[in-house]
Amino acid sequence: MAYGFDTLQIHAGARPDPATGARQTPIYQSTAYVFRDADHAAALFNLQEVGYIYSRLTNPTVAVLQERIATLEGGQGAVCCSSGHAAQIMALFPLMAPGRNVVASTRLYGGTITQFSQTIKRFGWSAKFVDFDDLDAVAAAIDDDTRAVFCESVANPGGYITDLDAISAISDKAGVPLIVDNTSATPYLCRPIEHGATLVVHSTTKYLTGNGTVTGGCIVDSGKFDWSASDKFPSLSQPEPAYHGLKFHETFGPLAFTFHGIAIGLRDLGMTMNPQAAHYTLMGIETLSLRMARHVENAVTVASWLEKDPRVAYVTYAGLESSAYHDRIARICPRGAGGLFTFALKAGYEACVKFVDSVEIFSHVANLGDTRSLVIHSASTTHRQLSPEQQKAAGAAPEVVRVSIGIEDPADLIADLDQALTKACG
């Protein structure tokens, strides 16, 4: 029987604890798991049997979360890890090698632009940033060394929606996987695998947890990519020396990427999610649909009010009819464009700084996707490492403020913005 989203967000992956009957998923606060005997231990270490060895690799609480997110995304398997940024490295790790590149959208979270333009160079990897509305440019950027195409479904912070169908057609044709960061949309609003994504990555820190308590990340595998169709992905298609020549794709089929993520990725990179974090995220996911519907409703109300305010130059939210991306909502994220958007103040940079210092209900923090409304001036914080050109391309120009609209009473949010705008702009 195919259950609906609201049922799956509570039940997928979980069952009453077999030892105690506990109805809520226990926090399995254990580093290691006793082997039945030496043969059992050998089978686990040879990947001939699936089970728990050591919590750097697998943990029963984290396993429930992995199955829950994989189910909600419509994927075959998932690996959780310590943060959204860890998830991005874990997603690229099996695909890349020195000299290889990822073709990435210019419209990404500022931290991801920094990770891709600076830090991954230390592994000998590189990124080519392209405007993902210029489909010819995306196709032209993919070369013989490209091993992945990367974008966000609903981009942070600019209210941009990626045409995932068009991008996946290009990556498919080139024989490279499409990785979609679905953090801002969540699987309630957008299911990238249905639009051709190979892998979906998340910062579970944001809406999936939803209450600003823990950092975490997740990589969901669609199970649909043929890793053996070319010689481009030897980590998945060729013999793995650390496992006596086992070939992940041949052995695990559609679960190859997931098994590789655990058996090689978590084993050797060690970016593990702890069971406490998994617990908080499981608690959050139980109410995901209710929260996301309210985030969207409030974002539409607040963005519509801001758009009419004479102190505001423009609002970039795809949920507004004025947005160039409004017509992508029905196809890409039919339940709404999320709770995140930016607006620009006519009075410029200094007024933005004064504005974030004047809000009372909104919190000035470097986070998004909380029940609370949050605000940040990206150009002076999260995006300050970027060049002015990169800031503008990422929707974080100096006169722009980003808001993550929470699930409070929308009239209170508007009143707070109004008083802060008065203090900032006169």
Ligand X SMILES: Cc1ncc(COP(=O)(O)O)c(C=O)c1O
* List of residues contacting ligand X (CB under 6 A): 83-85, 109, 111-112, 152, 156, 181, 183-184, 203, 205, 215, 217, 368
Least distance in angstroms from the C-beta of 109 to ligand X: 4
Closest CA to 127 of 166, 162, 88, 94: 88
Contacts within 8 Å (CB) and 24+ apart, 27-32: 27/61, 27/275, 27/276, 27/278, 27/279, 28/59, 28/60, 28/61, 28/275, 29/275, 29/276, 30/55, 30/59, 31/55
Q: 192 or 410: whose CB is closer to ligand X? A: 192
Least distance in angstroms from the C-beta of 369 to ligand X: 8
Distance CA 308, CA 321 (A): 13
Q: 111 or 406: whose CB is closer to ligand X? A: 111
Least distance in angstroms from the C-beta of 112 to ligand X: 6
Written as six digits, the tokens of 361 are: 């209900």
Q: 117 or 237: whose CB is closer to ligand X? A: 117
Q: 183 or 186: whose CB is closer to ligand X? A: 183
Q: 54 near 32, Cβ under 8 Å?
A: yes
Closest CA to 368 of 206, 215, 209, 208: 206
Distance CA 191, CA 193 (A): 6
Least distance in angstroms from the C-beta of 111 to ligand X: 6
For residue 160, the cross-strand partners are: 155
Q: 76 or 209: whose CB is closer to ligand X? A: 209
Residue nearest to ligand X (CB): 84
Q: 174 or 368: whose CB is closer to ligand X? A: 368
Least distance in angstroms from the C-beta of 251 to ligand X: 31
Least distance in angstroms from the C-beta of 46 to ligand X: 33
Distance CA 12, CA 254 (A): 19
